């Protein structure tokens, strides 16, 4: 604003100077006109400028000579006017130059003001961003404090749970000891009761499995004494010796339910898989050196497939408390519970080097497995003696103690116990005396069961002797 006022003052000063010089020029002209002689009434009224021509008439001439003209402009006047005009022109040019300079200054001032406004806007924006960042950091600090509080709470809860877990471990150890000693106490009480009635000679009782694993499956279902039933709905009561179950007519098991592929026969399920079949189901097999056709379930969804299933338990629909002939030929439904038959298992396994996979499922849906590097059976003359390789898996090794043992049924006792393990465990198996597993025993619903003898489907290293598994599968495949 100060610059604009200064410029306007300069322009007003120059205008006043120009006006003064113009007035002085006019005064000079008027003074010269006043110095001219007064009008003479005798002079000619008009002065004619005629071109040069021949004089043919009278010429009017004044006797007093030419009279001076008041309005006549001399060369000196013209020179003075020119000088004034030249000065005015120079002054105008100077004013234009000053105006141009002032215009540039004004434009620069405008640009500076615009930049100042932009700078103020940018500073305001940066201030808002800084304020937002401060607020965000404050919120982050609050969240961090909340997270720290949560971590402290979780740590406290973990310590409390750890203390609770130790208490539960102590209680579990006490309960495991009680479970391990329960059967012994019951046997001692029964012994005292029987001796009270005068019975001195008591039958031999097989030793009970004393293993109670740390990872025993937990289920909220009630204890159960439900026993599986056969196809005639006739149950075999526990604790009493029954006659050998009646084999199926002609020794042929009932036809399986489900679909059977028309391809085959194949030597085993591994050859089925190599032939391009990737669907698990029933396939027709024929072992080398045998004329007997075998219907078997091939499992192709587990570990790249090619597994031949020879035993399956899942719902207790088939009675496994059977005689030697049934276990030799096989029984059950191929797509459900079944035993493929010792003779068929022997013929399949002798074709090459096979390995064994045992899949176990508890009542909370957890599946574990035990795999043995080799598997085959001896012939019928050796009572299909079991031969196993080394163990690997996450179920625990409960089958190695049965390695090298012949197969025992209710009507053919081949175990190392003084009595018949098949009678006490209600099934057929490669019993020792009597052993750490009984996968062909009674199917109990719910897991933990009550029984005088350990006759459930148990795997001692997974659940103990009084935990009956929900489902079991035993299968073989050639060694890779």
Decide if pLDDT at 405 tops 80: yes
Rounded mean pLDDT of the chain?
A: 79
Pick from 189, 207, 228: which residue ends a domain? Answer: 189
Tens of pLDDT, residue by residue over 15-24, are 776 666 665 5
Higher per-residue pLDDT: 464 or 49: 464
Is position 273 within any domain? yes
Query: Is the whole model's pTM more than 0.75, yes or no?
Result: no
| Average pLDDT over every residue of 209-232 | 45
| Contacts with 66 (C-beta within 8 Å, 6 or more apart), sequence order | none
The pLDDT score that the predictor gives to residue 419 is 87
Q: What is the pLDDT of residue 297?
A: 96
Domain that holds residue 419: 269-478
Residues 428 and 405: their CA atoms lie apart, in Å, by 12
Please report whether residue 32 resides in a domain: no
* Of the candidate ranges 200-209, 214-223, 333-342, 415-424, the one whose mean pLDDT is the lowest: 214-223
What is the structure's pLDDT at 244?
A: 37
Give the residue-averaged pLDDT of 203-229.
Answer: 50
| Three-state secondary structure call for residue 472 | strand
Which of 189, 220, 240 represents a domain boundary (last residue)?
A: 189
Same domain, yes or no: 185 and 274: no
Q: Which residue has the higher pLDDT, 31 or 146?
A: 146
Are 355 and 450 in a shared domain?
yes
58: three-class secondary structure by DSSP = coil
Best CA proximity match to 386, nearest among 405, 370, 359: 405
Question: Do the domain assignments include residue 74?
Answer: no
Q: Which of 189, 204, 223 lies at the terminal end of a domain, its last residue?
A: 189
316: which DSSP letter? S
- 8 A C-beta contact, residue 316 and residue 329: no
320 φψ region: left (φ > 0), alpha (ψ -120 to 50), beta (else) = alpha
Q: What is the largest CA-CA distance in the chain?
A: 204
Same domain, 292 and 166: no
Q: Is the pLDDT of residue 165 over 80?
A: yes
Q: Answer whether residue 238 is part of any domain.
A: no
Most confident of 85-99, 133-147, 359-373, 409-423: 359-373
**Within a domain: 81:** no
On whether both 410 and 275 belong to a single domain, the answer is yes
The count of structural domains within the chain is 2
| 305 and 180 housed in the same domain | no
Residue range 331-335: average pLDDT?
94
Q: What is the pLDDT of residue 15?
A: 72
- Residue 284 falls inside a structural domain: yes
Judge if 303 and 168 occupy the same domain: no
Which CATH number do you get for residue 470? 3.90.215.10
How far apart (Å, rounded) are the C-alpha atoms in residues 362 and 319?
20
**Does any domain span residue 246?**
no
220 falls within a domain:
no
One domain, residues 293 and 440 = yes
Shared domain for 328 and 416, answered yes or no, is yes
Do 275 and 150 lie in one domain? The reply is no
| Cα first-last separation, the chain | 99
Q: What is the pLDDT of residues 286-330, one digit of tens each?
A: 999 888 999 999 999 998 999 999 999 999 999 999 999 999 999
Same domain, 182 and 281: no
Same domain? For 170 and 274 the reply is no
Whether residue 307 sits in one domain with residue 171: no
């Amino acid at each position: 604003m100060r610059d604009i006022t200064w410029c306007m003052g300069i322009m007003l000063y120059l205008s006043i100077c120009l006006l003064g010089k113009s007035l002085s020029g006019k005064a000079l002209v008027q003074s010269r006109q006043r110095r001219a002689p007064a009008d003479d009434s005798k002079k000619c009224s008009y002065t004619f400028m005629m071109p040069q021509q021949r004089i043919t008439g009278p010429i009017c001439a004044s006797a007093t000579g030419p009279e001076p003209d008041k309005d006549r402009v001399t060369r000196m006047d013209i020179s003075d006017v020119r000088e004034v005009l030249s000065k005015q022109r120079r002054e105008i040019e100077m004013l234009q130059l000053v105006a141009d300079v002032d215009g540039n200054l004004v434009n620069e001032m405008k640009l500076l003001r615009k930049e100042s406004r932009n700078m103020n806007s940018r500073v305001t924006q940066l201030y808002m961003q800084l304020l937002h960042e401060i607020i965000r950091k404050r919120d982050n600090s609050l969240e961090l404090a909340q997270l720290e509080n949560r971590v402290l709470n979780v740590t406290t809860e973990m310590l409390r749970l750890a203390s609770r877990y130790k208490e539960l471990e102590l209680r579990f150890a006490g309960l495991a000891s009680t479970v391990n000693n329960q059967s012994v106490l019951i046997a001692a009480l029964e012994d005292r009761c029987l001796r009270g009635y005068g019975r001195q000679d008591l039958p031999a009782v097989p030793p009970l499995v004393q293993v109670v694993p740390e990872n025993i499956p937990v289920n909220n279902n009630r204890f159960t004494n439900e026993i599986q039933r056969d196809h005639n709905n006739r149950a075999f009561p526990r604790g009493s010796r029954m006659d050998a179950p009646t084999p199926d007519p002609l020794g042929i098991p009932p036809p399986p339910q489900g679909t059977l592929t028309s391809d085959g026969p194949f030597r085993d399920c591994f050859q089925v898989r190599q032939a391009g079949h990737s669907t698990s189901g029933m396939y027709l097999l024929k072992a080398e050196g045998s004329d007997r056709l075998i219907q078997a379930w091939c499992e192709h969804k587990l570990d790249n497939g090619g597994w031949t299933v020879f035993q399956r338990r899942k719902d207790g629909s088939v009675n496994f408390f059977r005689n030697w002939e049934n276990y030799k030929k096989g029984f059950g439904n191929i797509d459900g519970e079944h035993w493929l038959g010792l003779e068929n298992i022997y013929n399949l396994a002798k074709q090459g080097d096979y390995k064994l996979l045992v899949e176990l499922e508890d009542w909370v849906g957890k599946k574990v497995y035990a795999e043995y590097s080799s598997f085959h059976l001896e012939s019928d003359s050796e009572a299909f003696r079991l031969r196993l390789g080394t163990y690997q898996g996450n179920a625990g090794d409960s089958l190695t103690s049965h390695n090298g043992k012949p197969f025992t049924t209710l009507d053919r006792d081949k175990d190392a116990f003084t009595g018949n393990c098949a009678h006490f465990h209600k099934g057929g198996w490669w019993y020792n005396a009597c052993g750490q597993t009984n996968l062909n025993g009674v199917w109990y619903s719910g897991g933990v069961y009550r029984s005088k003898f350990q006759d459930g489907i148990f795997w001692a290293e997974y659940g103990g002797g009084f935990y009956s598994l929900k489902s079991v599968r035993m299968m073989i495949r050639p060694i890779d």
